[in-house]
Structure 1
Amino acid sequence: MQQANSLDVIIGLGGSGLSAVNFLCAEGRCVAVTDEQPAPSLAPKLPEDVQTAFGGIDEALLLSANRIIISPGVDPRHPAIQSAKSADIPVLSDIQLFCDALHARDERTGKHTPIVAITGSNAKSTVTTLVGEMAKQAGKVVGVGGNIGTPALDLLAIDGMDLAVLELSSFQLEHVSHLGASVATILNISPDHLDRHGDMTGYLAQKLRIFDDARAAVICLDDTELQASCQQVLSDHGVSEAAVITTSGVIDCDCHADFCLVKSEGRIYLCCRGEHLLSADELFIKGKHNLLNALSALALGQAVGLDMPSMIAALKAFKGLPHRCEYVDEVAGRAYFNDSKGTNIGSTLAAIDGLGAVYGERSLAIILGGLGKGQDFSELGADIDKYAHSVYLIGADAGVIEKDLSATSGLSKRIQQLGTLQAAVDLASQSSAKAVLLSPACASFDQFKSYGDRGDKFVSMVKALA
């Protein structure tokens, strides 16, 4: 048991760092904060008694700590942090603090507050938000946060919280030791943050921490390697097969997943163990990948006891999140989709494959480009060749992308470098494509303030066409 006067040191004064400070101060702890920045923007919001060491991570301060709470944006390979770990000083995340506090509160009150834990390379925010909306529709008091919106520790202030739904990044999971979720899932995995985790093995290892002490899990059967990794970890943690709910986004009448897609009489249905729940036509969100997101949310909700009619009602009302394969408008017979959040190859593949399944082969005008982050864009070649009517390249690494994509035979004739987003939208609007998709597979900072700025400008350009 920690003593009230023991020193807790928070590294990194971002949103989660400040929430950790406020939580620990309210618990009567002695708290200090250190940050690389000389004047963090949130410093004026610190309580008066908090010790600070800014302008670099203070190794001496860390070595005097009883425990260290590390913010997700801080690289744990920093020499000062490594020194603290070598001195056997515990390093944990705000997520672990949240889970410990929630479990302790439940023990005191005799209440069980389920935690739904969601991670993956892509679609985390969509599924997290959707589960939250389903819980609200079911009449639950729900806290939604973590890597999305509200820091996890701030959810503890929600009066009468019945359910916590957490989006978790690999950075947050890196310093979690016993999450204890009621149900957990890894939605998908594709290369990301390899500069931090070293390689895919290291990246996946952090994602798999989400199953630590989990009571149940949702596993997608479409990625056999990820499925095997998840099942092995769950077996190691003693989670029975009966506590595993499976999903599949493959449209197949013979699918053995608990939640799957079935095509019948020309329509695609979302199904649960053979029962047709609703048709894809009844949803605002489009694309096969979004149908899989919907199935994942249904499975997670069912695992924590949400009733199916409420979940279906929430699903029918859900219009998706901004910049995540967001339907913008239909102009002159063409549908426009804003997937500016698609900043890596895996996300863009999901968008292309998902919308391609709806609109058909060679139906999409696809806008790619920005800062490529050293990715191999040839991985997009097969799907683009199948579903692209035309490809418009923008941004700093347009030449790199064209070179990589041209390795796919016959694709180069459909590729044009245009430089700017406006030029791409103008040309796409004159094409015979059925749908126009902005899914850059790149960071935005060469031409825009953020992926949100890029997406907002795209939406404005589309609205100007109407």
Structure 2
Amino acid sequence: MTKDAFDLVIGLGVSGRSVLRYLQGQGMAVRALDTRQALAGLDDLHAEFPKLKVHTGGFKKGWMERARRLIVSPGVAISTPAIAAQIAEGKEVIGDIELFARAASRPLVAITGSNAKSTVTTLLGEVAEACGRQPGVGGNLGIPALDLLASDAGLYVLELSSFQLETTYSLNAQVATILNVSQDHLDRYNRFSDYLAAKQRIYDGCQVAVWNRDDVATRPQVPVPREVTFGSHPQADYRLDSDRNALLYKGETLLTLDQLTLTGHHNAMNVLAVLAMADALGLERETALATVCAFQGLPHRCQMVAEAGDVRWFNDSKATNVGATLAALTGIGEAINGKVILIAGGQGKGQDFSPLAEPARQYLRAALLLGEDADKVADGLIGVPRERAETMAEAVTRARQLAQPGDAVLLSPACASFDMYSGYTERGDDFAHHAREVSHG
């Protein structure tokens, strides 16, 4: 290594700053850049890293060429020409999860999927905590992975995005899972197969692969020592039996659906995945069962926020792609006696909304559509009543007028929120506020 060699951190969001803390803690020479000219929190960054050399507003060619290696944040595509040129020259380009994997000395559970990964990661963390394993839970969810290394965790439970997996090579998880795969991030990937290939990297070097028997795309495409499956498929190891309304393990009843606080078919699948991974980790089953039964879910993920007049209101604002909305619509639709009034729309990210058409015809009373790509969502919902709303308040008011006893009103947008909100959290809070108003007014 030359005297002035340095690592270059690209992207100064939450994960990028965790990389800076880690590398400086290791005594590494480091510089940082961000393509945004007006970088929020730049003063705080300089306060935390007073000697750090920082460049904003683009890629600094001299730094890119002189850097020993590039550590790229998930939000920056490695296909970006300035980065791709360095890869072509043979330079190492990695991310925060690769740094974590090289340093971690405790067992790791790695969880990805187009949908439900935050719910499953959180719930498995709660099961591990109840079983006394002192889990460090984070990654794409909550605490950055590198920050977990400073804890005394006995087990790491990480939610990982496809973007993080693109730059990860040494994961070697004890247990790894792809929960489901549906169209997403087609504004970043040229082809769906590229997105799937990034997800599949989670199985590289794992000991146990837990995959969804109902979704063949989740099956490992590389040999793994052991495979465990979940789903409603008759051959799944951990199975949802809809006829008996029960969750089974190889024919043995683990619990009935009415024991779960969570509602819907999709949440039953999430619980099955958690139980499969808990068993693979050797966690005590009775404790795991008690924990999953008590779990109430996460904010903005099919969270019931109001109930009045035998109408329930569900906030699923985190559903920013078609697969997530498909799961929520099917799960809620199967769990209620009435019909669903769906509120959807926003920024569609180039998705195909036609997969929603069939379940919409089966479960929907009406769809209320808002945002930038409302018309595109409407085109995917042929065959059901559709109305346009200009604001969330208008959509909620109309939903209250349409709802009948036994119905559910579901905010599950299938789209990003940035055309109208700062993020899915603000969107979900807005829905919940108006839902409580009309329910209790």
TM-score range, shorter chain: over 0.9
Identify if the C-alpha distance between structure 1 residues 202 and 459 changes in structure 2 by more than 3 Å, giving closer, same or farther.
same
Residues 1:232 and 2:226 are matched in the alignment? no
RMSD between superposed Cα atoms in Å = 1.8
Give the alignment's TM-score, normalised by structure 2: 0.94
1:153 corresponds to: 146
Residues 1:438 and 2:430 are matched in the alignment? no
Q: Which amino acid aligns with 2:201?
A: R
1:277 to 229, 254, 274: 254
Q: Distance in 1 between matches of 2:24 and 2:3?
A: 10
Equivalent residue pairs, number: 434
Give the alignment's TM-score, normalised by structure 1: 0.89
- For structure 1, which segment, 135-144 or 50-59, has the greater mean C-alpha deviation from structure 2 after superposition? 50-59
Q: Distance in 2 between matches of 1:87 and 1:210?
A: 26
1:322 corresponds to: 299
Q: Distance in 2 between matches of 1:303 and 1:75?
A: 34
Matches within 5 A, 1:374-453: 374-406=350-382, 408=383, 411=384, 414-430=385-401, 431-432=403-404, 434-453=407-426
Report Cα offsets for 1:5-64 as digits up to 9, x if no partner: 742111111111111111111111111111112353252244233222222121211221
Residues 1:125 and 2:108 are matched in the alignment? no
1:258 to 228, 233, 237: 237
Report Cα offsets for 1:257-283 as digits up to 9, x if no partner: 11111246xx51122222211121122
1:19 corresponds to: 18
Q: Distance in 1 between matches of 2:35 and 2:242?
A: 54
2:88 corresponds to: 86
1:212 corresponds to: 204
Q: Distance in 2 between matches of 1:398 and 1:74?
A: 28
Identify if the C-alpha distance between structure 1 residues 55 and 394 changes in structure 2 by more than 3 Å, giving closer, same or farther.
closer
Q: Distance in 1 between matches of 2:339 and 2:136?
A: 40
Give yes or no for contact 1:137–1:313 (8 Å, CA) kept in 2: no
Matches within 5 A, 1:17-166: 17-40=16-39, 41-42=41-42, 43-102=45-104, 106=105, 113-159=106-152, 161-166=153-158
Q: Distance in 1 between matches of 2:386 and 2:141?
A: 35
1:353 to 302, 324, 330: 330
- For structure 1, which segment, 281-290 or 77-86, has the greater mean C-alpha deviation from structure 2 after superposition? 77-86
Give yes or no for contact 2:329–2:359 (8 Å, CA) kept in 1: yes
Report Cα offsets for 1:382-416 as digits up to 9, x if no partner: 1100011222222233233323322x4xx2xx222
1:188 corresponds to: 180
Identify if the C-alpha distance between structure 1 residues 44 and 391 changes in structure 2 by more than 3 Å, giving closer, same or farther.
same
Q: Distance in 2 between matches of 1:4 and 1:455?
A: 51
2:314 to 333, 337, 345: 337
Q: Which amino acid aligns with 2:431?
A: F
Identify if the C-alpha distance between structure 1 residues 45 and 308 changes in structure 2 by more than 3 Å, giving closer, same or farther.
farther
Structure 2 unaligned spans of 5+: none
- Cα displacement (A) at 1:212: 1.1
Identify if the C-alpha distance between structure 1 residues 400 and 80 changes in structure 2 by more than 3 Å, giving closer, same or farther.
closer
Q: What's the secondary structure of 2:37's corresponding residue?
A: coil
Q: What's the secondary structure of 1:405's corresponding residue?
A: coil
Same amino acid, percent of matched pairs: 44
Give yes or no for contact 2:33–2:58 (8 Å, CA) kept in 1: yes
Give yes or no for contact 1:370–1:396 (8 Å, CA) kept in 2: yes
Residues 1:9 and 2:8 are matched in the alignment? yes
Q: Distance in 2 between matches of 1:311 and 1:324?
A: 21
- Cα displacement (A) at 1:141: 1.0
1:109 corresponds to: none
Report Cα offsets for 1:412-444 as digits up to 9, x if no partner: xx2222322222222222321521111111222
2:347 to 361, 371, 376: 371
- Cα displacement (A) at 1:68: 1.4
Structure 1 unaligned spans of 5+: 107-112
1:110 corresponds to: none
- Cα displacement (A) at 1:341: 1.0
Q: Which amino acid aligns with 2:416?
A: A
Report Cα offsets for 1:183-223 as digits up to 9, x if no partner: 10111111111222211111111111101111111011101
- For structure 1, which segment, 40-49 or 127-136, has the greater mean C-alpha deviation from structure 2 after superposition? 40-49
Q: Distance in 2 between matches of 1:419 and 1:52?
A: 42
Give yes or no for contact 1:4–1:30 (8 Å, CA) kept in 2: no
Identify if the C-alpha distance between structure 1 residues 219 and 403 changes in structure 2 by more than 3 Å, giving closer, same or farther.
closer
- Cα displacement (A) at 1:4: 9.8
Q: What's the secondary structure of 1:231's corresponding residue?
A: coil
- Cα displacement (A) at 1:80: 2.2
Give yes or no for contact 1:6–1:29 (8 Å, CA) kept in 2: no
Q: Distance in 2 between matches of 1:403 and 1:244?
A: 40
1:200 corresponds to: 192
Q: Distance in 1 between matches of 2:259 and 2:73?
A: 41
Give yes or no for contact 2:5–2:66 (8 Å, CA) kept in 1: no
Q: Distance in 2 between matches of 1:30 and 1:80?
A: 22
Q: Which amino acid aligns with 1:257?
A: A
Q: Which amino acid aligns with 1:320?
A: G
Identify if the C-alpha distance between structure 1 residues 71 and 349 changes in structure 2 by more than 3 Å, giving closer, same or farther.
same
Q: Which amino acid aligns with 2:15?
A: S
Q: What's the secondary structure of 2:286's corresponding residue?
A: helix
Q: Distance in 2 between matches of 1:282 and 1:455?
A: 27
Identify if the C-alpha distance between structure 1 residues 425 and 39 changes in structure 2 by more than 3 Å, giving closer, same or farther.
closer
Q: Which amino acid aligns with 2:322?
A: I
